[in-house]
Structure 1
Amino acid sequence: MTAQDSATRPTSIAVTAPPAQGAGGGTLLALLGVVAFSLTFPSTVWGLESFGPWSLVAVRSTLAALIAGAFLVARRVPVPDRRHWGGLAVVAGGVVLGFPLLTTLALRTSTTSHAAVVVGLLPLTTAAFAAVRTGRRPSRAFWAAALAGAAVVAVFTLQQSGGGLSAGDPYLFGALLVCAAGYTEGGRLARVMPGWQVIGWALVLCLPAAVAGSAVALAAEPVRLTAHGVIGLVWVAAGSTFFGLYVWYRGMAAIGIARASQLQLAQPLLTLVWSVLLLGEPLSAAAPLAAGAVLVCIAVTQRTGS
C-alpha cells in the first residue's frame, strides 16, 4: 500500500478496553451501584407525588440522557463501532426504559416492600442470563449459594407484604426479565469499553424517544411539584440511572457478571431500610436475621467465583 493510499484510506475508531480493575475495587464499585439502586423504589414513590408514572419515567430518562451526553461530549468520546449498537439497544430497552417503566407502574399499587421481591430474584435471573449469553458456567457451590440467597430474599419480602400477590406483580416479573437481559448485555459490553460509556450511549440512544415521551406524558398527566417529588425525580435520573449504572457496569467488568449480580441480594434489604427511614413503612424483627443469611450467601458466591 502506497503512502498516498494510506493517507486517503478512511480510518475507523476502535473502542479500547477499559483499564484493568482489581477484584476488590470491582466489588466496591458494584456495591456502590447496589446502594444507589436500593434507593430507586423509595425515590420513585416520592417522584409519583408530583408526576404521573409515564411522565416520571420519560423525564427521568431525558435528564439522565442529557447528563450522559454532556459527559460524552466533554470527554470527546468516539462513537462506538457498529457491532456494539445492538447490545447498547438491549441495555437501553431493558435498563433505561423497560425496568423503570414497569416498576413505576407496579409501585402505583404495590408497596416498596413487596416490589423488592423483583430485585431479590434479579441476581439469580441475571446469573442465568449471563451463563447463556457468555457461555461461562459458575460452579455448583455458586449456584447453591445464589439459590439460597434468592430463597431467603423471596420468603422475607413476601412475608413482609403479607404473603400474597399484588396487582402490580405482572409488571414486576416483566421488569425482572428485561433488567436481567440489560445487565447481562451491559456487563459484556463493559469489557470492551468503559462502563460509563456503556450506560452513556444507551441513554443517548433513548433520548429522542424520551423527549417525545416527556412532551406527550406531561401534557396528559397532571404535575403537582413538591419537594419530595423533585428530589425523587433528581435521584432516579442522576443517582440510580446514571451514577448507579456507571459504577455497576464498571464493577461487573472487573469481577464478572455472575459474581456482581449476587451482590444485589443485599439490595431488597437495603430498600426496606430506606422504606422505613424515608417512607415510614414498618420493618419486621425478622429483617436482621434475613440480612445475616443473605450476607453469608453473598460471601459464598464471592469466594466461589464465577
Structure 2
Amino acid sequence: MRGPLTLDAMAPVLFVLLWSTGFVGAKYGLPYAGPMTFLALRFALVIAGMGLWTLLSRAPWPTRRQWGHLAVIGLTVQLGYLGGVFAAIHLGLESGVSALIVSLQPILSAILAKPMLGETLHKRQWLGLALGLAGVALVVSNKLAAGVGDWRGVGLCLIALACMTFGTLWQKKYGANLPLRSGAVAQYAVALVGALALAFLFETREVRWTGEFVFALFWLAAALSFGAIALLYRLLRTGAASRATSLFFMVPPVAAFWGWAFFGETLGPTALLGFVLAAAGVALAMRPQPKHVEEKPAA
C-alpha cells in the first residue's frame, strides 16, 4: 500500500505552486527582452536539456503521426498560451489578473470536453461559466478603470485561454501514447520556430543580460517547462480532463500573492470580489456529480 506522500498525492499542490510562479517570472524578466524573444530563449534551453535527457536515456522518438499531434500541442499549449500571457504582461497587465483570466480554462475544458472527449456536460457548468465570466469582468473592468493594463492585454490573455483549453483537450484525447521526453522536444521545437518568426516580425530581439533576466529565464525553463508541464501531463493522464484542469482555479490567488510580494500589486474590494466570484464559478463547474445520479455513456 502506498504512503500518503506519493508523487500523485503531491502533484496537485506542486503544480499550483510552480504554475503560479510562471506569471511572476514572466513579469520579472520581460523588462529585459521582448516576449517572443524571451520565449524563444526559454524554448531553446528546454530543447537542449530535454534533448540531452532523451539521448542519454535512449528514449524513443515520435513517429510521423505522433509529430502531428505534438505540433498541435506545441503551437497551442506552448506558443499560443505562453505567448499570449507573456505579451499581455509585457503590455502592462498584472500577473494576478492574467492568471485570473486564464483560470477559466477548466470551465471551457468541461464544456468542450463533450464534443471532443465525450464527457458529460451539466447545467451547473454553464452556471459556473457565467459566474467565472462575471468575476473576470469585474476584475478586468476595475483594473482598466484604474489605468492598469489595457484591452490589448486582455485580448491576448483570452487568446491564451483558448489555446491552452484546446491544447490540453487535444493532449487528453491523443496524448496517452505520446512519448514524454522526446515529445516535449518536438513540442518545444515547433513552438521555438513560431516564437522566432514572431520575434523577427514584431520585436528588435535585443536582450539585456542582467542577473534578474538570467534568473527568470532559467527558472521558467527548469521549474515551469520541465516541472509544471510534466506534472500537468501526468494529471491529465490520470484523471478526467475537466477534473485535472480544475486545479487552475487555485492558481490566481497564489499568483496574486506572488505579484503582491514581488511587485506590490494590490487588489481592492471590487477586484477581490471578482476573484471570489471567478473562483466560485470554477469550483461550482468542477464539483463532482452526486454518486446516485447515473450518467449516460457517450454515444
Whether these two folds match at TM > 0.5 is yes
Q: Tell me, which stretches of 5 or more residues in structure 2 are unaligned?
A: none
Quick one: percent identity of the two aligned structures?
A: 24
| TM-aligned CA deviation for residue 28 of structure 1 | 4.2
Partner of 2:225: 241
| TM-aligned CA deviation for residue 190 of structure 1 | 3.9
SS of alignment partner, residue 80 of structure 1: coil
Decide whether aligned partners of structure 1 residues 196 and 210 sit closer, same or farther in structure 2, where only a CA change above 3 A counts.
same
* Aligned match for 1:130, one of 95, 108, 113: 113
**2:109 equivalent to 1:103:** no
Partner of 2:239: 255
Instruction: Give the AA of the match of 2:153.
Output: G
Counterpart CA distance in 2 for 1:304 and 1:227 is 49
**2:150 equivalent to 1:168:** no
| TM-aligned CA deviation for residue 47 of structure 1 | 1.0
SS of alignment partner, residue 48 of structure 1: helix
Instruction: Give the AA of the match of 2:22.
Output: T
| TM-aligned CA deviation for residue 247 of structure 1 | 0.3
Partner of 1:74: 56
* Aligned match for 1:301, one of 272, 275, 286: 286
Instruction: Give the AA of the match of 2:158.
Output: F
Single out whichever of 260-269 and 120-129 deviates more from structure 2.
120-129
Partner of 1:47: 29
Counterpart CA distance in 1 for 2:142 and 2:172 is 32
Question: Normalising to structure 2: TM-score of the pair?
Answer: 0.78
Q: Deviations over 1:257-297 (max 9, x none)?
A: 11112221111221111100111212335649945983795
RMSD: 3.5
Partner of 2:254: 270
Q: Deviations over 1:143-162 (max 9, x none)?
A: 54455455445534554554
Counterpart CA distance in 2 for 1:104 and 1:182 is 17
Single out whichever of 252-261 and 147-156 deviates more from structure 2.
147-156
* Aligned match for 1:116, one of 83, 96, 99: 99
**2:12 equivalent to 1:37:** no
Aligned length: 282
| TM-aligned CA deviation for residue 189 of structure 1 | 3.6
Partner of 2:208: 224
| TM-aligned CA deviation for residue 222 of structure 1 | 2.7
Is the 1:109–1:166 contact (alpha carbons within 8 Å) kept by the matching residues of 2? no
Instruction: Give the AA of the match of 2:241.
Output: I
| TM-aligned CA deviation for residue 82 of structure 1 | 3.1
Partner of 1:83: 65
Q: Deviations over 1:25-57 (max 9, x none)?
A: 657424432322211121111111222222101
Larger Rg: 1
